[in-house]
Structure 1
Amino acid sequence: MQLDIVVAFFLLGAVATLSRASFEVPKAIYRGCTLFLLLAIGIKGGMAFTAYPLGVLIPQALIIIAFGLILPFIAFPILYKIGGWTREDAASTAAHYGSVSVATYAVSVAVLEAQGITYEAYFPLFVALLEIPAILAGLFIAKPKIFMSKAFPKALHEMFFNEGVLLLIGGLIIGAWGGERTERLMPFFGDLFHGVLALFLLELGRQAATRINDIKRQGPFLASFSIAMPLLAASLGYVLATYVLNLSAGGVFLLMVLASSASYIAVPAAMRSALPEANNALAITASLAITFPFNVLVAIPLYLSLTQLGS
């Protein structure tokens, strides 16, 4: 199993921070990289979107939404019963692990493209769809009556108009509507993708390394959950992709990666609005400082090897 070259930039950011080097990617550049990656993923998916009939897309989309709803209900009892967390903390973290990490998805796409492995081009739609149901499930687990409260409309707005969903869906629409005209954008959104991803991962490596002390304070349960839950979810994703959705080997790999990833951008924003009493630092530490490094360093090469063996 060989790591993709872009992962080296994540390691560089982590090592530089752990070595106490004076280093930080400017916030404006990091924000720009985030916007670029979201739009690039959406536009590329949208360009090929019209090649697939709605009779294929709609049933698969509904299955993916159901999958996103189920995952938090699997994670919650582990955190609540075994970990002994409060209901709010367990529900919030479960929602993070039912959602997805766009950065993890971007790394997995870079890996596939570097090896010339094809996949279903509409996967950015799945990325956007998996952001929303996990938040709804997490809020329902924490407080079923919250859907009738004053906090819910604000959370609802965060779900549908957060940066990730808005730009991914917007990119999909622009790519599908533009068709061949969108090719004029690809020298920017296509050729620069890997370079921007490398810079983005450099900063994520720094951010992950700054949470080492948080991991030590939380103890072995947090680390165990942050690795075991992604592996369990990826296994379910493999079964779903292979035996229900009948995806290609590249598609099976991508769904395993999406199932294995955890949000640290969209879900925290929604949870802060609707569930302020939850300790979101627990979820962010788990998803960003443990699950994300585990995925890019270990799980992605592992999943790719498994899907290649099975194809």
Structure 2
Amino acid sequence: MILDFLATFGAQLQKPTLAFLIGGMVLAALGSRFEIPDAIYRFVVALLLLRIGLGAGIEIREADLAELIVPAILAMVLGAGIVLLGRFTLGKLPGVRVEDGVATAGLFGAVSASTLAAGMVMLDAESVAFEGWVPALYPFMDIPALITAIVLAQLHRKRKEGTEGRVALWPIIVDSLRGAALSALLLGLALGLLARPESVYESFYDPLFRGLLSILMLVMGMEAYSRLAELRRVAHVYAAYAVAAPLVHGLLGFGAGYVAHVLTGFSPGGAVLLAVMAASSSDISGPPTLRAAIPTANPSAYVGSSTGIGTPVALLSIPLWLALAETVFPA
């Protein structure tokens, strides 16, 4: 398995997805003035999410909805469970404020659109099939993770202030749904389900997908290197968590995918994508949501650890889940 992983990993480093990520990190390390305007970055992200949503919506329209129930429930449990795990590990360590630990766990429980897109491209490149509706599990993992983090932070604040009371969940859910990433994904999902967008999907969104993803990976690489400076301002324990969390969470996601495989026949490719989503940490919708909902948390801690270390580790771990699938699932 180790030899298979090393061979797969080495091959993936030469392919555009990871090569552009590493190229962006190298450019930033060399002090290059190369940059992609933020407006273009946001436009690229919106197009990628619309494409993912459209594709998932088209597939769900033709799928047996009963097949989605178990993976959707597992995704929800994963999102909330990852945050609870972080609360009682990272959040309990000396020198870590509870608000910072919870916010960091919230980002790592939520989903990265760029990592999900990279996983889809790498599976396609390896001819690993997966259910077309699997990307629609994104909000089932993302929203519970953010809600759990915000609720834990608010409960902690109430205990500190000596006040008791219920935390209103509905405003948190609405605010999460209004986030840019989820809005684009859910719009594409609704259009794929309710309209007939196949012509524009096949002629515009799908052909652009890989090229747009390479631009996003370049930006992510440069952003990751620049965020390392922020991470130096907080305890080194965040760096250790950011390295370990994607691997632990990815294993939990892969295990959940295996359970779904046993119960419903969920594909090995689907299990890999579930691992990719669990290993990822939110880089678009999560940071502004948590910044507004947990204003006492330090962004250098949760954004620095997520973008600076967590995202590159999650992306570089995708070959691990591919190799694991080849070993665990029968041919």
Q: Is TM (by shorter chain) over 0.5?
A: yes
CA distance in 1, matches of 2:260, 2:213: 32
CA contact (8 A) 1:261 1:291 kept: yes
2:209 aligns with 193
2:252 aligns with 236
CA distance in 2, matches of 1:141, 1:263: 18
1:259 aligns with 278
CA distance in 2, matches of 1:236, 1:36: 30
CA contact (8 A) 1:155 1:273 kept: no
CA drift of 1:122 comes to 1.0
Identify the match of residue 177 of structure 2 among 154, 160, 166.
160
CA drift of 1:108 comes to 0.5
CA distance in 1, matches of 2:130, 2:201: 22
CA distance in 2, matches of 1:56, 1:36: 28
1:36 maps to 2:58: no
1:135 aligns with 146
CA distance in 2, matches of 1:225, 1:117: 30
CA contact (8 A) 2:104 2:302 kept: yes
Please show how residues 294-309 of structure 1 align to structure 2 within 5 Å: 294-297=313-316, 299-309=317-327
Amino acid at match of 1:225: Y
CA contact (8 A) 2:51 2:201 kept: no
How big is the alpha-carbon RMSD for the aligned residues of Structure 1 and Structure 2? 2.0
CA distance in 2, matches of 1:129, 1:149: 21
Identify the match of residue 75 of structure 1 among 86, 108, 121.
86
Query: Which one is further off, 61-70 or 277-286?
Result: 61-70
SS at match of 1:133: helix
CA distance in 2, matches of 1:241, 1:175: 25
1:118 maps to 2:135: no
Amino acid at match of 1:79: L
1:282 aligns with 301
Amino acid at match of 2:277: L
CA drift of 1:304 comes to 0.8
CA distance in 1, matches of 2:96, 2:320: 31
1:104 maps to 2:122: no
Query: Which one is further off, 204-213 or 51-60?
Result: 51-60
SS at match of 1:210: helix
SS at match of 1:84: coil
Identify the match of residue 248 of structure 1 among 250, 261, 267.
267
CA contact (8 A) 2:233 2:300 kept: no
Q: In structure 2, list runs of 5 or more residues that go unmatched.
A: 1-7, 159-163
CA contact (8 A) 1:95 1:137 kept: yes
CA distance in 1, matches of 2:119, 2:324: 14
CA distance in 2, matches of 1:9, 1:19: 15
Q: In structure 1, list runs of 5 or more residues that go unmatched.
A: none
Amino acid at match of 1:81: K
TM-score, length-scaled by structure 2? 0.87
Seen in structure 2, the aligned counterparts of structure 1 residues 42 and 86 have a Cα distance that, compared at 3 Å, is: same
1:62 aligns with 73
CA distance in 1, matches of 2:32, 2:200: 40
Seen in structure 2, the aligned counterparts of structure 1 residues 156 and 252 have a Cα distance that, compared at 3 Å, is: closer
CA distance in 1, matches of 2:267, 2:94: 37
CA drift of 1:56 comes to 2.2
The CA deviation string for residues 52-71 of structure 1, in whole angstroms up to 9 with x for no partner, is 22222234323321221111
CA drift of 1:212 comes to 2.5
* % identical equivalent positions: 29
Once superposed, which parts of structure 1, at least 4 consecutive aligned residues long, lie more than 6 Å away? Answer: none
CA drift of 1:82 comes to 2.3
2:194 aligns with 177
Identify the match of residue 5 of structure 1 among 7, 16, 20.
16
Amino acid at match of 1:78: T
CA drift of 1:308 comes to 1.4
The CA deviation string for residues 4-56 of structure 1, in whole angstroms up to 9 with x for no partner, is 32221112211111111111101221111011111011111111112222222
Amino acid at match of 1:134: A
CA distance in 2, matches of 1:77, 1:84: 14
TM-score, length-scaled by structure 1? 0.92
